[in-house]
Structure 1
Amino acid sequence: MRRIMDRGSAENWDVVVALTDLPLHSHGRKLVVNLSHEHSLALLSLPSLGGLRLQTRARQAVEAAVLGLSGPQTSGSEGPPRSQPLLRPFVSRLAPIHPGPIGEQETADLRYVVSGPRGYLRVLLGMVRANRPWRLVPGLSKALAAALATGAVATVNSTVWSLAQTLSAPRLVIATVGSVALMIGWLIVDADLWHRPAESSLEAKQRARLYNTSTVVTVGIGVLVCYVGLMVVNWVWALFILNDQVFASVTRHPLDAEEYLTLSWFVASVATVGGALGSGLESDEAIRAAAYSKREQERRNTLQGDHVDQLSK
């Protein structure tokens, strides 16, 4: 807030509204917005707006902040009604907000926070949205190449045909969950994406837990998108390459639509395991670039550097 105030004074701005994609915390609660009517400043944490309709919600929040800060101010005896319009962009069934505590030495004179499971979920979705998990797919080119090669070979393997034909739906689901979990765990461990708190305080641990949960969800969404893509590619490849007579002679079952689906499903799990091994060929920087936004990468590099400095001391 003091940096915002200094910038506003230097530029001679009447009202300053700052946005950040950093999930901010205040007294153990997740911050939505900080307001200083005395200095006409507002600091808005974008993850608190959630993962849906972010641009619309951010625009509404900025407009409400400007109107609230530039409008006539009430006296202290009249209390918080001067900022009631700020509630409108944030109020929803998923994330109820309420005023938060403010220290005596803080620049802000009014603060709104979210707490509880619904507030946590909204901030988490906002962090995942900022990471853009769909960018993980083109960012793991070597892993995808290994997965596609594994799937192409497995599709024409008669042993895989027999295994796929004997697997029930629950076992196929278990294979899916296992292969996806293996891929997620491998990427996080191999690229050192797991954040460890540099401090032992409760707030630092909560912050690290939030970061790590967003990492797992971000990577998980990306891996699931890859899995579905592999399943579709394997299905198309099976339609093109398999011969129903040869398949029936090996499995004693005709090659119908159900067999195509079962085979492509099972092969997608096998290919995902191959992709996990192939991801070891990717550099840590490439995986981080695929998993995080640019600002998030810079932030984590800074945190990692601070942690290393503390260890060296």
Structure 2
Amino acid sequence: MTTSDHHRPEIVVGLVATPPDYPAQVVARLTAELADQLAERVDADVRWTVRESWGDVAPRRDGGVEALLDDLVHRRVDARWDVAICLTDLPLHTERVPLVAQMSARRRVAMVSLPALGLRQLRALRVAVPGLVNRLLTDTSEEQVLPVGGAPAELTGQVAAIHRVVGEANAGELGYVASRLIGRVRLLTGMVRANRPGRALLGLSKLLVGAFGTAAFALTTTAIWEMGDALGGLRLTVIMLLGLTALVAWLIVAHDLWEKPDRETPTELARLFNLGTILTLTLAAAVSYLVLFAGTILAAALLIDTSVLKQTLQRPVAFTDYLMLAWIISSLATVGGAIGSGLEDEDTVRAAAYGYHPEPGGWRDEKDA
């Protein structure tokens, strides 16, 4: 630290992840670059210090955004931060539209809902977080609070997910909301992104191995060859969809992934959690199916000679016949893999449930470090 740094005023910004799972990874990446962004976009004459943490702010399902902000205030005061920003994977709503961010100048805290940002969350945060910090510092200074259409409206043009601003500008209590239709689509895609379908895909490794075993056995059965030749594209599509549906349904039932409304989880939030779980598992199952399909085509091309297939089908064969054969075998093997999915590790599969958050493991809270 140079001598000039000591003479510059210091502003401490706290970034809190709740729950300490996916949001903690986003906070870690954002913390590494936030000080430079604040110096560039807010004030270069300030010495910015960014602290990252998790733990004290719990995912308060029942209280919504106000409960999060109240918890965040206590964390900010205890840690002696100037302002605090909470990043959460909770899908929040206000006025029946997705809530992207909420700020409270009086409490000097703000919250950003990661799913509402869609797929490109880190890019949006690089704009939204400095903007929220700037707004919090402006509203808590001696300057007059700007009306709606001033500083708050800037985020509506810079962050694609933000459609308009609601709340009491004079009181510094502002909510940044998404559009009703596109915002809901962005929220769902953001939930799948936050739920990390790649983790669910890795969790289905035993299922995929079992499906490959079923497919290898089916390749040696001439009755399957004839069945694939007799069925048309429409029937094969229906069989494929039924197989994927059975797989997703079996995973949800066998591993108790269905979120039930209770005192802590309102009905609307439970519905969103379940939808996020279904979309995540469907994406993971679809990718697994494509891997199985490609592997089955390769195995069929290597094991089944064209003359043998021609003799069985009693007609000339082409590469499309191998595709049809791999199609029906992959669909049948997916159903067999669904039964084998009950042997998957419970914690690995449960990670696909949107409302489930495993222990943080390697994450450490700065306050405890």
Task: Give the TM-score category using the shorter length.
Answer: 0.7 to 0.9
Matched residue SS, 1:195 = coil
Partner in structure 1 of residue 319 of structure 2: 257
Alpha-carbon spacing, 1:125–1:79, altered in 2? closer, same or farther (3 Å): closer
Q: 2:86 aligns with which of 18, 26, 32?
A: 18
Partner in structure 1 of residue 357 of structure 2: 297
Q: Deviations over 1:151-208 (max 9, x none)?
A: 00111210000011111111111111111111111111111111111159xx922211
Q: 1:6 aligns with which of 58, 74, 80?
A: 74
Q: 1:192 and 1:292 mapped to 2: Cα distance? A: 9
Partner in structure 1 of residue 6 of structure 2: none
How do 1:163-202 residues align onto structure 2 when only pairs under 5 Å count? 163-199=227-263
Partner in structure 1 of residue 153 of structure 2: 84
Partner in structure 1 of residue 163 of structure 2: 97
Q: Deviations over 1:236-272 (max 9, x none)?
A: 0011101222211211123321111111111110110
| Contact map agreement 1:180 1:223 (CA 8 A) in 2 | yes
Q: 2:214 and 2:317 mapped to 1: Cα distance? A: 22
| Contact map agreement 1:27 1:101 (CA 8 A) in 2 | no
Q: Deviations over 1:205-254 (max 9, x none)?
A: 22111111111110000000000000000000011101222211211123
Partner in structure 2 of residue 34 of structure 1: 102
User: Identity rate of aligned residues, in percent?
Assistant: 33
Q: 2:200 and 2:320 mapped to 1: Cα distance? A: 31
Partner in structure 2 of residue 214 of structure 1: 276
Q: 1:18 and 1:297 mapped to 2: Cα distance? A: 17
Ranked by relative contact order (alpha carbons within 8 Å, sequence separation 6 or more), the top structure is 1
TM-score w.r.t. structure 2 length? 0.71
Q: 1:17 and 1:88 mapped to 2: Cα distance? A: 21
Matched residue SS, 2:349 = helix
Partner in structure 2 of residue 308 of structure 1: none
- The one-letter code sitting in structure 1 at the alignment partner of 2:357 is Q
Matched residue SS, 2:102 = strand
Q: 1:122 aligns with which of 186, 197, 211?
A: 186
- The one-letter code sitting in structure 1 at the alignment partner of 2:113 is S
Deviation of 1:101 (Å): 4.8
Partner in structure 1 of residue 131 of structure 2: 64
- The one-letter code sitting in structure 2 at the alignment partner of 1:228 is L
Does residue 148 (structure 1) correspond to residue 212 (structure 2)? The answer is: yes
Does residue 160 (structure 1) correspond to residue 220 (structure 2)? The answer is: no
Alpha-carbon spacing, 1:79–1:271, altered in 2? closer, same or farther (3 Å): closer
Q: Greater helix percent: which structure?
A: 1
Does residue 279 (structure 1) correspond to residue 341 (structure 2)? The answer is: yes
Deviation of 1:5 (Å): 1.8
Q: 2:254 and 2:299 mapped to 1: Cα distance? A: 31
Partner in structure 2 of residue 302 of structure 1: none
Partner in structure 1 of residue 306 of structure 2: 244
| Unaligned stretches of 5+ residues in structure 2 | 1-68, 360-369
Does residue 235 (structure 1) correspond to residue 301 (structure 2)? The answer is: no
- The one-letter code sitting in structure 2 at the alignment partner of 1:172 is L
- The one-letter code sitting in structure 2 at the alignment partner of 1:234 is T
Partner in structure 2 of residue 75 of structure 1: 144
| Contact map agreement 1:34 1:108 (CA 8 A) in 2 | no
Q: 2:329 and 2:181 mapped to 1: Cα distance? A: 38
| Contact map agreement 2:91 2:116 (CA 8 A) in 1 | yes
- The one-letter code sitting in structure 1 at the alignment partner of 2:93 is H
- The one-letter code sitting in structure 2 at the alignment partner of 1:5 is V
Q: 2:103 and 2:133 mapped to 1: Cα distance? A: 10
Alpha-carbon spacing, 1:17–1:64, altered in 2? closer, same or farther (3 Å): same
Partner in structure 2 of residue 112 of structure 1: 176
Count of residues in Structure 1 that have an aligned counterpart in Structure 2: 287
Q: 2:296 and 2:283 mapped to 1: Cα distance? A: 20
- The one-letter code sitting in structure 1 at the alignment partner of 2:131 is A
Q: 1:108 and 1:126 mapped to 2: Cα distance? A: 28
TM-score w.r.t. structure 1 length? 0.83
Matched residue SS, 1:33 = strand
| Contact map agreement 2:97 2:179 (CA 8 A) in 1 | yes
